Amino acid sequence: MDYLDILRLLDSTLRLATPLLLACLAGLFSERAGIFDIGLEGKMLAAAFASAAVAVWASAPVDNPQLGQLSGLGWGWQAAWLGVFAGIVASVFLSIIHGLASITLRGNQLISGVAINFLAAGLTVLISQNIFKRGGQTPPLTGDARFSEITLPFAETLSSVPIIGLMYSEVISGHVIFVYVGLLCVPLTWWVLFRTRFGLRLRAVGENPGAVDTAGISVTRLRYAAVIICGVLCGLAGAYLSMGTAAAGFGRDMTALRGFIALAALIFARWRPWAAMWACLLFGFLQAVSTYYPKVDVFGLFVIPSDFMEALPYILTVVILAGVGGKAIPPRAGGVPYVKER
């Protein structure tokens, strides 16, 4: 393994960490406000489908036989952005269902999350099959309808500079916009949470909603706000999966439990934004390793089978949940619907 291999691995790490990071920050907003959300997975999936489907439709020629009765919009790059918007809308819609169940109707948040995951798994394929008739997949996104990689300034020139320059051009540069947005969301989340009035109230409502209520602030409104932010971020994560990766389209169950890995990362990160980033990078790295090295030969003694390498990030999730590195204390009011005391 030479330096370039390592750089490729890191490059891949960044790509693979991005959906986890966006979903993890989504979960962070929700759980910091006291709403547990195991429906991240479903929201990402719904967004992945909605964005790909809408982008396909918007970018298709006006009289497109491929779409059956639907005629396309014939848009250019705008189609991709409309797709992102659609992804966010789909995800926020599911968020609002979760909000309705867990805030307004004081239902069980775990059950609601599970329902949303299944709902997304069923509906996406059902609708996709109904429109595109491709076994649940969307037609591949091509050209402007998908997001292409951005070469950062001077990446070409600097690539000749050893070590640092190469790092810049190989790892930092050359990602789709979602990767940069994801990374920017980390300081942004930190700032919102710890430097704004909204953040103060959000954190308070996850710890003691009674304190927020008696301070004259609506617990309901705050929690809905948090849940909707969660939806927006999950929407971005899903849009990235179908529009910004090599998949270039939606496929059945394409989120592959990333929503749950993001939750594990969130717990590992103790619900803190910067730590969340490192946790997601760690998981991204593991996924990168398992894709680059499907079978690992251990000193010629034996070969670690590919099934094991593929399961590795999932096994690590369990290990992390087992409390390696201390006990994680979630926000105190997490998972409990707010009822005024009697």
Partner 1 sequence: MSDVAQTSKGRSDATASLPPAIELSGISKSFGPVQANKDISLTVQKGAIHGIVGENGAGKSTLMSILYGFYQADRGEIKINGKPTQIHNSDDAIAAGIGMVHQHFMLVQPFTVLENVVLGAEDGALLRPSLAKARKLLVELAHEYELEVDPDAVVEELAVGLQQRVEILKALYRSADILILDEPTGVLTPAEADHLFRILEGLKAQGKTIILITHKLREIMAITDTVSVMRRGEMTATVKTSETSPTELAELMVGRRVLLQVDKDVATPGESLLQVKDLKVTDEDGVDRLKSISLELKRGEILGVAGVAGNGQSALLEVLGGITEASGGQVILNGQPLDLLGGNDAGDRRKAGIGHVPEDRHHLGLIMKFLAWENTTFGYHGEPEFNASMGLMNQREMLEDARGKMERFDIRPPDPKLKAANFSGGNQQKIVLAREIERNPDVLLIGQPTRGVDIGAIEFIHQQIVALRDQGKAILLVSVELEEILALSDRIIVMFDGKISGERLPGETDESELGLLMAGIDPKAESAA
Partner 2 sequence: MKSIPRWADLALIPFLNLFLAFFVAGLVVVFIGEDPFRAMKIMLTGALGSDYGIGYTLFYTTNFIFTGLAVAVAFHGSLFNIGGEGQAALGGVGVAVVALTLDGTHWLITFPLAILSAAIFGALWALVPAYLQAKRGSHIVITTIMFNYIGAKLLGFLMNGPLKKEGSMAPESRRFEDGAQLPFMQDIAGWFGMEMTRTPLNISFFVALICCVLVWLLIWKSKFGYELRAFGFQQPAAIYAGINPVKITVITMVVSGALAGMMALNTVMGEQQKLVLDHVQGAGFVGIAVALMGRSHPVGVLLAAILFGVLYQGGTELAFEIPAISRDMIVTIQALVILFMGALENLVRFPVEGMFARLSRGN
The reply to whether 260 sits near partner 2 by the rule CB under 8 A is: yes
Contacts of 190 (CB under 8 A, 6+ apart): 273, 274
* Nearest residue (CB) to partner 2, 111 versus 188: 111
* Nearest residue (CB) to partner 2, 244 versus 313: 313
* Nearest residue (CB) to partner 2, 229 versus 320: 320
Among 5, 66, 70, 106, binds partner 2 (CB under 8 A): 106
Helix (H, G, I), strand (E, B) or coil at 200: helix
Helix (H) or strand (E) holding 122: helix 109-132
Amino acid at 127: I
Rounded CA separation 333/5 (Å): 46
* Nearest residue (CB) to partner 2, 131 versus 158: 131
332 interface partner picked from partner 1, partner 2, none, CB below 5 to 8 A per type: partner 1
Query: What is the total count of residues that contact partner 2 (CB under 8 A)?
Result: 47
* Nearest residue (CB) to partner 2, 129 versus 159: 129
The reply to whether 121 sits near partner 2 by the rule CB under 8 A is: yes
Site residues for partner 1, window 311-340 (CB under 8 A)? Answer: 332, 340
Q: Which two structure tokens, joined as six digits, stand for 154?
A: 């001077």
- Rounded to a whole number of angstroms, the minimum distance from the CB of residue 155 to partner 2 is 37
Q: Which two structure tokens, joined as six digits, stand for 145?
A: 């309808």
Query: Residue 134, class by beta-carbon neighbours within 10 Å (0-12 exposed, 13-18 middle, 19+ buried)?
Result: middle
- Rounded to a whole number of angstroms, the minimum distance from the CB of residue 302 to partner 2 is 13
Helix 40-59 vs helix 109-132: crossing angle, to nearest 10: 20
Among 66, 142, 157, 196, binds partner 1 (CB under 8 A): 196
The reply to whether 310 sits near partner 1 by the rule CB under 8 A is: no
Rounded CA separation 156/304 (Å): 38
What x-and-dash track marks residues 239-258 binding partner 2 by CB under 8 A?
Answer: ------------------x-
- Rounded to a whole number of angstroms, the minimum distance from the CB of residue 47 to partner 2 is 17
Site residues for partner 2, window 133-172 (CB under 8 A)? Answer: 136
Helix (H) or strand (E) holding 210: helix 209-214
Q: Which two structure tokens, joined as six digits, stand for 309?
A: 């390498």
Residue 248: closest CA among 152, 163, 148: 148
204 interface partner picked from partner 1, partner 2, none, CB below 5 to 8 A per type: partner 1
* Nearest residue (CB) to partner 1, 298 versus 342: 342
Query: What is the total count of residues that contact partner 1 (CB under 8 A)?
Result: 25
Place of tokens 């916009």: 177
Site residues for partner 1, window 198-227 (CB under 8 A)? Answer: 198-201, 203-204, 207-208, 210-218
Residue 3: closest CA among 173, 162, 174, 172: 162
Among 106, 133, 195, 221, binds partner 1 (CB under 8 A): 195
6 interface partner picked from partner 2, partner 1, none, CB below 5 to 8 A per type: none
- Rounded to a whole number of angstroms, the minimum distance from the CB of residue 104 to partner 1 is 17
Query: Residue 339, class by beta-carbon neighbours within 10 Å (0-12 exposed, 13-18 middle, 19+ buried)?
Result: exposed
Query: Residue 256, class by beta-carbon neighbours within 10 Å (0-12 exposed, 13-18 middle, 19+ buried)?
Result: middle
Q: Please report, as ranges, the residues that interact with partner 1 according to CB under 8 A.
A: 194-201, 203-204, 207-208, 210-218, 332, 340-342
